[in-house]
Amino acid sequence: MEQKKFDPWQFVGFFLIALILTWMLYNQPPVDEATNETVTQTESSVNETSEASASVVLSDSLQSQQLQATFGSFANLFQSNSYAEVSLENEKLALVFAPKGAQILSLRLKEFSNYKEEPLYLIKENQSFNYSFTTTDGRVLNSSDFYFTPKITERSGNQIVTLTAAVSASQYIVFEYQINADNYMIDFSIRSEGMRRLINTNEQQQITWDLKAFRNSRSIEYENRYHLLTYGFEDDKIDYLSGASEDEEEDKDVHWISYKQHFFNSILIPSKAFETVNFTSESLVDSDIIDQEFTKVYQTKIPVVSDGEINQKFKWYFGPTEYDTLAQYELGLEDSIDFGWGIFGWINKYIFTPTFNFLSSFLPYGIAIIVMTILVRLVMSPVTYKSYVSQIKMKVLKPEVDEISAKHKDDSVKRQQETMALYSKAGANPMSGCLPALIQLPVFYALFSFFPVAFALRQKSFLWADDLSSYDSVYDLGFNIPFYGDHISLFPILASIAIFFYTMMTAGQQAAPQQPGMPNMKVIMYLMPLMMLFFFNNYASGLSLYYFVSNVLTIVLMLVIKHFIVDDAKILTQLEENKKKPKKKGGFSARLQQAMEQAEQQKKMKGKK
C-alpha cells in the first residue's frame, strides 16, 4: 500500500482560498443592515405623510368644529374659499372686488393721475363697508368677515358682479354691483334670502362705511381744507363736518353722504333717505410728515330697520368733484361742492362757474382767468368810481378836518360834532367810501371760494405755474418756514406788490386823523401785503393770479379816473358851493349830530355836579 505524501501546493491553495474568503467577509457591505435602514426610512416617510394627512384632516375638522361652536348655523359664512379677487372696468373706472367681505378692494379713476403723475385711486385697501346684524341666538355678525362667492354677468350692456355668502342652499346674503358702460355711478344693493328666521329683528342692524382719504395734491395742508365729509338732509339742506380737526355730527332724513377728497368724491346715495345717521371725521395731516399718504378718516354709521330680510339699494358715485358731471345725475350731488354759503355760493354757481366754463372752452385756462377778472373789474368799475370820488372828497376836506382836530384836541365829542357838521355842509359822506367796498365784498369773497374748487384748473399750466389748482413754486427752500412753507411761490409775491402799491395810492387820501388809543390803520393797511404773501404761498396759483390781475386793474382804473375823469379842483369848488346852500336837517347825519349834542350836554351836566 502506497503511503500518501504531504503536498505543499495543496496547502498553499487552501491558504489562498481562506484569505480570499476572509477578505470578502470583511469588505462586502452589510446587506441586511442597509436593507433594514432603507426599510426604516421608507416606513418613517410613510408614517410622516400619514400623520401630515391626518393633521390636515384633523385641522379642517377642528376648524369646522370651532366655527360651528362659535357661529352655529352661520359657520359656512366664515369658511374660507379659494376664489380669487375679481377685476372689472368700464371707460371711467377700474375696480377690484375681494371675496372676503364683498368689498371694493381698489377703485382707480382711469382718466386722472395724482400730483406725482401716478394712477389716481379713490380706494386702495383704505375703505371698509360693513353690514352688521344680530342673529336669533344672540350672535353679532359682520358682513366684512364673510366669505363670498363671486360671479360676473352682463345685463343690458352693463357688467354685474354678484357676490354670495351662503348659510345654506336656500339661505344667503348677496352683495351686487352693477357697473354701467360709461359712467362714474355704480348701482349697489345688499339683499338676503331665507334669513327671516335667523335674524333678530328686535336688535338694530347697522351699516358702517369707513374711508381714509388719499392725498392727491402737492400742498397737503391746502388740500386738506377741502377734504370734507358733506351730506344732504331734510329739504335740500347741506351740512359738513370740520375740515381742520376731529368732528362728529348726527342728523336725520339724510339723502346722500359725500366723502370729498378735494377734486374727487365718493358719494353714497340710498334709494330711500336714511332715518338717522352718525358722522365722524378726523384730520390726519401732520405738517412734519412731508410724504404723508392720507389726509382724513371718515366714518358713517347708519342704523337700519328690517323685517328680517335685508333689502338695501344704493347708488355709489366715484368720480371728479365737477359741477357739470355731478349735476347730470339730477340727484342734487352738485351741492356737495363748497361754493360758499348764501349769496356767495349763488354767485359762484350761477355766474362765475358758467362764465369760466364758457371762457375756458376756447381760451387757455390762465388767459380765461385774466379775461374773467377784467370782466369783473369792468362790471364793478362804477362802484370803484364812487369809492374813489368819496376818497377825493375826504382828501380835499382834510385841511379843514385837521383844523377842527387841532381846535378841539381835548374834546372828542365837540371835535366829532364839528367834523360831522363840515361833512354835512359840504355834501360829503365818509361812509360813502365804505359802502362801495361792502358792495364788492360778496363778489371778491365768492371768487375766493370759486378758484379752490374749480375742477377745470386742476393740472392746467400757465406761464411758470404747472398746476393752477396748486401753488406755483419757483424755488424750493429745502426747509420749512412756519406759516409760509418750504417753497417760494411767485404769483403771491406779484399780488402782494400790487396790493402794496394800491395801499400807497389810497392811504394818503384818508381824512380822519389818528385817534388816541386806536390802532394805527396805516400800519394795518401796510401789513396786508405781507399777510397776503404768507397766506397765499400754499394756495392755488389761479387764485393768486386773479388777485394780482385784479389789483393791477384797480390801480389802472384809479389812475384813469384820477387823470382823465375826476378833477380835484372841481370837486373842491363843488364842495364849497355846497357849504353855501342851506341844508335841510334830517336823515342819519342829523340824528347822529343830535345824539352827539345830547351826549355833550349830559357830559356838561355831570361836570357841574
Question: ∠ CA(270), CA(175), CA(79), 5° rounding?
Answer: 145
Task: Note the pLDDT of residue 209.
Answer: 95
- For residue 561, name the pLDDT band (cuts at 50, 70, 90): confident
Please say if the pLDDT value at position 535 is more than 60: yes
DSSP run (H or E) holding 555 = helix 541-560
Q: Say which residues have a Cβ less than 8 Å from residue 172's Cβ, sequence separation at least 6.
A: 164, 165, 166, 192, 193, 194, 195
Distance of CA 558 to the CA centre of its chain: 40
In 3D space, the residue among 96, 112, 113 whose CA is nearest the CA of residue 104 turns out to be 96
pLDDT average, residue stretch 88-100 = 91
pLDDT average, residue stretch 422-448 = 69
Please say if the pLDDT value at position 253 is more than 70: yes
Task: Note the pLDDT of residue 128.
Answer: 92
Choice between 600 and 557, residue whose per-residue pLDDT is larger: 557
Query: Tens digit of pLDDT for each residue in 44-61?
Result: 433 443 343 333 333 444
d(CA 384, CA 565): 13
Please say if the pLDDT value at position 81 is more than 50: yes
CB environment 70-89: b (16+ within 10 A), e (fewer): ebeebbbbbeeeeeeebebe
CB 112, CB 120: distance < 8 Å:
yes
CB 377, CB 557: distance < 8 Å:
yes
Please say if the pLDDT value at position 577 is more than 80: no
**Right CATH number for 78-338 from 3.30.870.10, 3.40.50.460, 3.40.630.30, 2.70.98.90?**
2.70.98.90
Query: Tens digit of pLDDT for each residue in 180-225?
Result: 888 899 999 999 888 888 888 888 889 999 999 888 888 777 788 8
CB 459, CB 452: distance < 8 Å:
no
CB 468, CB 541: distance < 8 Å:
yes
CB 188, CB 207: distance < 8 Å:
no
Task: Note the pLDDT of residue 309.
Answer: 86
Domain parsing of the chain, residue ranges: 78-338, 351-581
Distance of CA 67 to the CA centre of its chain: 41
Please say if the pLDDT value at position 601 is more than 80: no
Range with the largest mean pLDDT of 134-143, 178-187, 377-386: 178-187
Q: Say which residues have a Cβ less than 8 Å from residue 474's Cβ, sequence separation at least 6.
A: 464, 488, 489, 490
CB environment 128-153: b (16+ within 10 A), e (fewer): bbbbbbbbbeeeebebbebbbebeee
Sign of the four-CA dihedral 480, 485, 491, 496: negative
d(CA 540, CA 487): 14
DSSP run (H or E) holding 259 = strand 247-261
- For residue 534, name the pLDDT band (cuts at 50, 70, 90): confident
Instruction: Copy the grid coordinates of residue 302.
Output: 347708519
Tally of CA atoms within 13 A in the half-sphere of 295 that contains its CB = 24
d(CA 130, CA 64): 24
Q: Please tell me the least confidently modeled range out of 138-152, 338-352, 517-531.
A: 517-531
Residue positions counted in the chain: 609
d(CA 156, CA 42): 62
Task: Note the pLDDT of residue 369.
Answer: 93
Whole-number Cα distances in Å, 249 to 113, 130, 229, 246, 414 = 33, 20, 10, 11, 54
Please say if the pLDDT value at position 560 is more than 70: yes
Task: Note the pLDDT of residue 69.
Answer: 45
In 3D space, the residue among 262, 266, 185, 268 whose CA is nearest the CA of residue 455 turns out to be 262
Sequence-ordered alpha helix ranges (H) in 349-433: 353-360, 365-379, 381-407, 412-426
How many helices and strands, by DSSP H and E, does the chain display? 15, 20
Please say if the pLDDT value at position 162 is more than 90: yes
Please say if the pLDDT value at position 517 is more than 80: no
DSSP run (H or E) holding 283 = strand 274-283
Instruction: Copy the grid coordinates of residue 418.
Output: 364839528
- The label of the residue with cell 406725482 reads 116
Task: Note the pLDDT of residue 567.
Answer: 63
Please say if the pLDDT value at position 450 is more than 50: yes
Please say if the pLDDT value at position 169 is more than 60: yes
Task: Note the pLDDT of residue 164.
Answer: 92
d(CA 294, CA 224): 10
Task: Note the pLDDT of residue 4.
Answer: 41
CB environment 321-332: b (16+ within 10 A), e (fewer): bbbebbeebebe
Task: Note the pLDDT of residue 39.
Answer: 34
Range with the largest mean pLDDT of 59-68, 342-351, 367-376: 367-376
Choice between 411 and 65, residue whose per-residue pLDDT is larger: 411
Task: Note the pLDDT of residue 484.
Answer: 80
Task: Note the pLDDT of residue 1.
Answer: 39
Choice between 46 and 160, residue whose per-residue pLDDT is larger: 160
- For residue 609, name the pLDDT band (cuts at 50, 70, 90): low
CB 113, CB 119: distance < 8 Å:
yes
- For residue 326, name the pLDDT band (cuts at 50, 70, 90): very high
Choice between 484 and 86, residue whose per-residue pLDDT is larger: 86
Task: Note the pLDDT of residue 523.
Answer: 65
